[in-house]
Structure formats: structure tokens, C-alpha cells
A and B are shown apart, each in its own frame.
Chain A
């Protein structure tokens, strides 16, 4: 009994130490956001703010016009995540429940896109967006990401897991494919769909290369693009840049806290689920 208490205490100490290591960079940024740079450096970079300016977040928000950048990011993320869920559910349904010629081949072709990161196709895709006149627009920022092989795969797995008797029952109830999709398939796989939504959201929010390549006007910068720019624009007020970085991380932090279960299921889907 005593031994386990002592052992637990040991684990707590270790876990706390590890937490400090993981959180250390974040803490340092927070301190630097709150302190005027030269004062902070002259004070020897203590683990607390020096002459803290609590309004720095508000100031970064207005001076960096972060409201607009966050809106652009949010709009693009919303479009991408919604579209990916819809297109993936539809495609997954076709692969799971519908019989059609060359089903496996088409499935293989879909899955092949997993091997094609946007980095490979960048040059041609930028050209396509230019031809379409979609530089500096929501459609340009989101178009290549409106479908997702990963989502199709994940949701198809979920659909395949639906027991046959549920399908039979649905057929007896007179459901056609659309009814079955709406009333049975989607509700039953809701956890998987939710997990995929969170993952899609995360990936879309954090995009960097693509928006960097197809925005040429500041007004269309996403928060990720605006962030390093803003930091280097304010050399004599580095604290503003750090405050902006913290603001940019908040939406995802909120997701981590409120949708942790879905996020974890989504991230681990490929690893522990079959």
C-alpha cells in the first residue's frame, strides 16, 4: 500500500516534469508576448512577464487585422471540412453499398490520391487556379481540398461495419438507398464522421503552402500566412507577433479541449482501427 503511494508520487513528479518540458516553449512565448522585448531580455528572460502589458492581445488583434485573417481561415476551413464530409460520405456509401462496374478499380484510383500530396501537384494546380481566375478567393483557397480519400476510406470502413440485419430491417421498412443513408448509415457512423470532421478541420486550418502560393493580396491572407508576416513586420515590437501566434492557436486549442474524444479517435483511426 505504502509502496504504491510512493510509486504514484514518483509518477506524478515525472509526469509534471515532462509536462513542463512540453509546455516550456508555449510558456516562453506567453512571457514574451506580455513583456516589452528589450526589458524582458535585459531582465534575463525570467519565467514571468516583465512589466506585463495585458492589452497586448487586443493590440495584436487590431494592429494585425487578425479579425479578417481569422475570418478567411474560418471560411476556408468551413468550406473544406463541410465539402470533405459530404463528398466522402457519398463516395463511401457508393463503395460500401452500391454495386457498379469497376468498383474496386475506382476505389483504388481514389485511394491513390493519398499518395499525391499537394506539394507534388503544386505547379499545375496553381496554374489551374490562375486559369480559373481564382487567385485570392475562397474557392481558390479550397478547391483542391473538397474531396478526401482519407475520409472516404474511414467512412466506408464505418459503413461496412453496419450489421447486415440492420440493412435487412431497413429494407423491410421500405427504405431506398437515400432513406437508408439518411436514417441508418449516417446516424450509426456518426462518431466516425465526427472524428473525420475534426481532422478535416484541423488540416484545413493549418494549411500553409497552398495559401502561400495562391494569395497575392494581403486581404486574402489566412491567419497562418499572416502570422509570420506580422511578426517580422514588427521588429521593434516582437511581443505583438508572439501575441498573434497565441491568438492563432486558440481555435484549435478549443477544439482539442471540447472535441478531444473525436479528435483522438480521428487521429488514431488509421493506427488502431482496422
Chain B
């Protein structure tokens, strides 16, 4: 079963990291990614540019509206994701709990919807 682990972290805190702190966190991410590659959980994952680079697109009454910034103002922002293969939710939670971002921010675990071939 596939789960998407969405990593929400406080961007402002990230921005205030020193280079050493940033390197240390990246080191943790590299090690974690390596780990779940070996354990067979990893299907994919990316980090995202900060929300200041985000654009929100809506279509209302056929008209495209484009606004600056993320969808909603929250304290924590979506910073990246992992797509994993896990046995069940307990297995997925164990993987998600090891994502370095879980220590400061939060990780939302969403099962991937499967559609029956018609």
C-alpha cells in the first residue's frame, strides 16, 4: 500500500538556520532517505522551494485567477514529501516518525487512493 508523507515545517525557522545547522539537517535527510531505500519503503520524494515562490491557481466561472503565495496562511508550510510503500498504517507511521522534519514540524500521512480499472 502506498502512502504520501507530507512534511510540514516552519519555514521561518529554516531560514534562520546557520549553514552548519542546515548541513546537519540535510545530513539527517540523506541518511534517512538511504535507510528507507534499503528497507524498500522509498518510492520517491522531493523537497520544495519555500512558499514565497508558490503560486496558487483557481478557476472560478471559467476564469483563471492566479495569486501569489500558498493556499492558506498557516504556521507550518509544506516543505517536501516522501512517497512510500508500507505494509499498513502502523508501518507507515514508523517510517514517518523517522523523517527528520517530524522532530520540529509535523508529517501528514495520507494513503494513496487507488482506482479500479474499469
Say whether A and B bind each other.
Answer: no
**Which B residues are within 8 Å of any A CB, using their own CB?**
none
**Which A residues are within 8 Å of any B CB, using their own CB?**
none
